[in-house]
Amino acid sequence: MFPTLGGLRRWLSRPHSSFASVCKNMPTKVKIVEVGPRDGLQNERLLLPTATKIEFIQRLAASGLRSVEATSFVSPKWVPQMADHVEVVRGLDHTGPVTFPVLTPNLKGYQAAVEAGAKEVAIFGAASEAFSKKNINCSIDESLDRFQDVMDAARRNGTRVRGYVSCVLGCPYQGPIAPSEVARVAVRLHQMGCYEISLGDTIGVGTPGSMGRMLSAVLQQLDPSVLAVHCHDTYGQALANILAALQMGIGVVDAAVAGLGGCPYARGASGNVATEEVVYMLHGLGIETGVDLAALIDAGTFISAALGRPTSSRVAAAIMAKKR
């Protein structure tokens, strides 16, 4: 492209409207939904003390994060790490500016969450029929029908409900997923009353190309203000996929500090995209997050030490190395 050094210098000196045009659709501020305490810890074999989980969540909130998913009201038989969900929710301050949503798989879980003090809950569906049938033994539509009781109760109680759609860019059983199916499930969740729908690349197989095609289909039916992206970094594509989503106007990103988590359905899956990486990239783009990166790294260091291993965040590792 640049046959001579002079050609390169001339290219660098001229205004680059192409980058400005790419950025014009990006939000000026992004909300990060921290999912480390729930999605990040749920597969950990080492059962952490309740006090450690509460302190972890409090450290995340102190970093400036305004949405921290705290726990899941599922059966301890299936997710032992979340067995102390009532104690965790009761140990948090629900009167301040930070929300602590919890996952509720059914009406029983919803009722227990609200009784414990939860002000926001989350429900979930899949964009893959094979994934839905393999994991909860019912079709996509049947799984969403089961949440109607939760939505009705939440409406009566004034509880905010967030929706998750899993396997939006690929399924471990079905393979690629049609963007139109993702759009259908997202629309259904929105019609049911979810204020925000998080689109999850559960096994981390997506690329900016597949992310763009999927979002194009969803954005034909839903406004970007009600959408979020949730990217796993199995193939190292998470940040690129998030950038693609930002360029399409998405302003909410899920992430897990220290890269916590992983997908039990994909061997070698390296977990959620690290919140530190997302914040570092967003700040580099001049996008506001309200998050103090140093405090966020401290929170990641705290939970990594509790788990007995180094952080999986490359940003955190690089910054901490400079301090040695």
User: How many other β-carbons are positioned within 10 Å of the β-carbon of residue 275?
Assistant: 35
Strand partners, 67: 33, 99
Q: Are 134 and 173 within 8 A, CB to CB? A: yes
Q: How far apart are CA 6 and CA 11, in angstroms?
A: 9
Q: How far apart are CA 173 and CA 128, in angstroms?
A: 9
Structure tokens at 248: 């399409």
Q: How far apart are CA 61 and CA 310, in angstroms?
A: 22
Structure tokens at 10: 């001339």
- 16-46 in b/e form (b: 16+ CB < 10 A) is eeeeeeeeeebbeebbbbbbbbbbbbbebee
Structure tokens at 153: 């109760």
Question: 167, 194, 231, 263: which is the annotated catalytic residue?
Answer: 263
Strand partners, 272: 232
Contacts of 258 (CB under 8 A, 6+ apart): 36, 40, 274, 275, 276, 300, 301, 303, 304, 311, 312, 313, 316
**Which whole-number Å values give the CA distances from 284 to 15, 177, 225, in the listed order?**
19, 32, 22
- Based on the residue annotation, tell me whether 263 is a catalytic residue of this protein: yes
Which residues are the active-site residues? 263
